[in-house]
Amino acid sequence: MNATDLGLPVDVPSTALFTDHYELTMLQAALKGGTADRRSVFEVFTRRLPEGRRYGVVAGTGRVLDAVENFRFDSGVLGFLRQRAVVDEPTLEWLASYRFSGDVWGYPEGEVYFPGSPILRVEGSFAECVLLETVILSILNHDSAIAAAASRMASAAGTRPLIEMGARRTHELAAVAASRAAYVGGFTTTSDLAAGFRYGIPTVGTSAHAFTLLHDSERDAFQAQVNSLGRGTTLLVDTYDVAEAVRSAVEIAGPELGAVRIDSGDLLLVAHRVRQQLDELGATDTKIIVTSDLDEYAIASLAAAPVDAYGVGTQLVTGSGHPTCSMVYKLVARAESADPKAPLVPVAKKSTGGKTSIGGRKWAARRLDEDGTAQAEVIGTGAVPAELADRQLLVELIKGGQVIAREPLDAVRDRHAAVRANLPMSALQLSRGEAVIPTEYV
């Protein structure tokens, strides 16, 4: 069952207008000029990683597949384009029957990538491929940025679970996508119910400071919460006096109290004090959850603290300082004519300022050492070297317009954890550095 079947409000009837005006004007000119049917190859890649990052994370691929399937020009969309005179009538007629019929290859979702990695390859006629540029980039740039931040936070957290709680810090639909990307990157739960509904991500949450302030006393608030949610609930203990709140929490819930949450102050110091107090009160199994504008650096600084879980919001859903991956969608090869048998010709933009690209339909493979640790990202346009044949990274996602590679989100999450574990240990350092392995062109 998909989101449309469920009637979810986070879905849209068509993704066709999630694009830029010039995609359609290019289409019109290509149709009129007779080049629209030329077989073409577009690739998504980034020329560099965000400053200081040592690897990127591919996320959003599943959403891209949904977007391509839903890229339809229905009567309402066509009416809008006609009213605004975006394109002419012959182009509108062509759009009315648009269905992507080409092939898409890409890195499996959850994989890591490096500068130049051909993360996604879209093949078909120029007309059908060019229209997908903006929606593909908007999904991959956003989701991969969030997943990369999540991956760094998960590395810093070690075995301690992470709660995604950034819905109130971003656009309501972006929040759902961010929660999904965070789960790919290693988070375990989300506070966002729409993300739980849409993607099956486990959801958690108990109460905010407003619930405590609603009551005549903190004890009354704790008692009401325990009466409703049970002794295993999580009580927020920093509304007034933390020590007094912890004492009241244990008196009311007993040693079976599930957890306390700390949302302010010097988290390292307060966590140590709260752990000592809980243990002295006999609540040795009560966990400590910390929140309050955490990022990967704050999480790492709490590694020695008696903390059991972290809740992360703002820094996560904004990519922890890097809200985009600067991915681009470039034409790298096209046929000499509209003849289906016409050979492909490599093409590439030539410019100054670091915006050059490499032409040709590419493959990618990852060279490993004898221990299975990644050594290099190898990219080429010719024959794949025999020693890399079983290390190729791209898999077929769409064949002849049909999605063939959907997979459960948990499988994507597990893949990322496994791939990250095979990177050199320096990949997990939070200090600024270059890509953890080099990109080699052959």
Burial of 111 (0-12, 13-18, 19+ CB in 10 A): buried
pLDDT at 150: 98
**pLDDT in tens for each of the 442 residues of the chain?**
444 454 444 445 689 999 999 999 999 999 999 999 999 999 999 999 999 899 999 999 999 999 999 999 999 999 999 999 999 999 999 999 999 999 999 999 999 999 999 999 999 999 999 999 999 999 999 999 999 999 999 999 999 999 999 999 999 999 999 999 999 999 999 999 999 999 999 999 999 999 999 999 999 999 999 999 999 999 999 999 999 999 999 999 999 999 999 999 999 999 999 999 999 999 999 999 999 999 999 999 999 999 999 999 999 999 999 999 999 999 999 999 999 889 999 999 887 666 778 999 999 999 999 999 999 999 999 899 999 999 999 999 999 999 999 999 999 999 999 999 999 999 999 988 899 999 999 9
- Domain spans of the chain? 3-131+327-441, 157-319
Tokens, residue 220: 């009354």
What distance in Å separates the CA atoms of residue 110 and residue 117, rounded to the nearest whole number? 14
Pull the structure tokens for residue 330.
């470039």
Q: What's the CATH architecture for 157-319?
A: Alpha-Beta Barrel (3.20)
Q: Token pair of 377, please?
A: 């990202």
| Number of neighbours of residue 330 by Cβ within 10 angstroms | 17
pLDDT at 12 (0 to 100) = 52
CA distance 247 to 274: 10
**121 backbone dihedrals φ, ψ, rounded to 5°:** -125, 125
DSSP SS3 for 5: helix
Q: What region, left, alpha or beta, does residue 107 occupy, with left being phi > 0 and alpha being psi -120 to 50 degrees?
A: beta
Q: How many CB atoms lie within 10 A of CB 250?
A: 22
How does DSSP classify residue 203? B
H helix intervals, 113-241: 126-130, 133-157, 172-185, 193-199, 209-214, 218-229
Tokens 């500068």 correspond to 115
State the DSSP H helix or E strand holding residue 138, giving kind and residue range, or none if neither.
helix 133-157
In the chain, % helix, strand, coil (3-state, to 5) comes to 40, 15, 40
Q: Determine the pLDDT at residue 232.
A: 97
- Residues 3-131+327-441: name the CATH superfamily: nicotinate phosphoribosyltransferase (3.20.140.10)
- What element of type H or E holds 154? helix 133-157
Residue 284 CB contacts under 8 Å (≥ 6 apart), including other chains: 255, 278
| Predicted TM-score (pTM) of this structure | 0.94
- Please report the pLDDT score of residue 13 as a whole number: 64
Tokens of 351: 């410019």
Residue 406 is encoded by which pair of tokens? 């959907």
> How much is the pLDDT for 432?
85
Beta strand ranges found along 338-393 (DSSP E): 344-346, 363-368, 374-380
Comparing 3-131+327-441 with 157-319, is the CATH topology the same? no
